[in-house]
Amino acid sequence: MGRYFIELSYQGTAYHGFQEQENANTVQEELSKALTIFYRANFELTGSSRTDAGVHALQNYFHLDTDIGIDSKHIYNINALLPPDIAVRSIQAVASTAHCRFDAVARSYAYYIYREKNPFMRDRGWFYPYPLDIKSMQEAAELIKGYRDFTSFSKRNTQVHTFNCEIMESRWEEFEGESYKLEGIRNWTREDMGVLVYHVKANRFLRGMVRALVATMVKLGRGQIGLSEFREILEAKDCTKADFSSPPHGLCLERVWFP
């Protein structure tokens, strides 16, 4: 029996997350239906990285085991059966021991904030038309790299053995009045309309972690808390201290890293 990694991209607006749920449409459900129709067989899919309802991905993975010969030449046919907001990008035969979740060594996310009304980012970023102290937010992003326990930035009722994460990258990128290409929206170049992007890469993430980091840093940027208070929230190990109010549609899983 062979094992295959299926790489896909999706706009998460219409879905209740990546992996299958009862009574809710998900990316996994749509891919399962397309595979079943094309191959006339049922498959058990294992997902790499969970994303919440409304969150997007440039790259995410499932793996499956099957005796059926699955080939990259079938990508066109599978994509024809998928909704327009989901696309299979590659199909790769891998070792029988390869695991798309446990073998991943890192994941990177980007969170988009736009500060001038922009209809093209309505469902791809957080519209936040208020002044922000970017320098303070950048200091907080740098501070994050010095910590490992992110209990304060994990939603409650999360079944994990540890809240420790190794942060490899944490920074804000600001575009102001210049032409650029949005990294999270490939092949789309235009005049900037006031966009902030938070880039973060880690060996693992907790449930709601990136959105909580973003929302809490925005409070800092608005002057509602200071850098010392942000540090206290990091060290408190109490999720009631952080802000989880950033909307999901600003978040994009950009890459899953394998050895």
pLDDT higher than threshold 50 for residue 83: yes
In a domain, residue 100? The reply is: no
Residue 155 is predicted with a pLDDT of: 86
Q: What is the pTM of this model?
A: 0.90
d(CA 19, CA 2): 22
pLDDT higher than threshold 70 for residue 24: yes
Max CA pair span of the chain:
58
Residue 161's pLDDT band (cuts 50, 70, 90): confident
Q: Is the dihedral of CA 86, 18, 145, 166 positive or negative?
A: negative
Domain identity same for 115 and 236: yes
Domain identity same for 135 and 229: yes
Strand, helix or coil for residue 85: coil
Q: Is the dihedral of CA 126, 127, 133, 134 positive or negative?
A: positive
The mean pLDDT value for 152-175 works out to: 88
In a domain, residue 74? The reply is: yes
Q: Which residues are known to be catalytic?
A: 52
CATH code assigned at 166:
3.30.70.660
- Minimum mean pLDDT among 17-21, 61-65, 179-183: which range? 179-183
Domain boundary among the residues 94, 125, 144 is at: 94
Domain count for the chain, please give it.
2
Which residue has better confidence, 178 or 147? 147
- At 151, list the tokens: 């209990």
Domain identity same for 140 and 234: yes
* Beta pairing, strands 126-127 & 106-114: parallel
Q: pLDDT tens for residues 32-61? A: 999 999 999 999 999 998 888 999 999 999
**How does the average pLDDT of the chain come out, rounded?**
90
d(CA 99, CA 258): 10
In a domain, residue 62? The reply is: yes
Domain identity same for 113 and 212: yes
Whole-angstrom CA distances from 173 to 67, 138, 187, 198 are: 46, 9, 19, 6
Q: Please name the residue that has the structure tokens 């102290």.
A: 133
Strand, helix or coil for residue 217: helix
Domain assignment of residue 239, given as a range: 106-257
Domain identity same for 79 and 153: no
d(CA 141, CA 171): 5
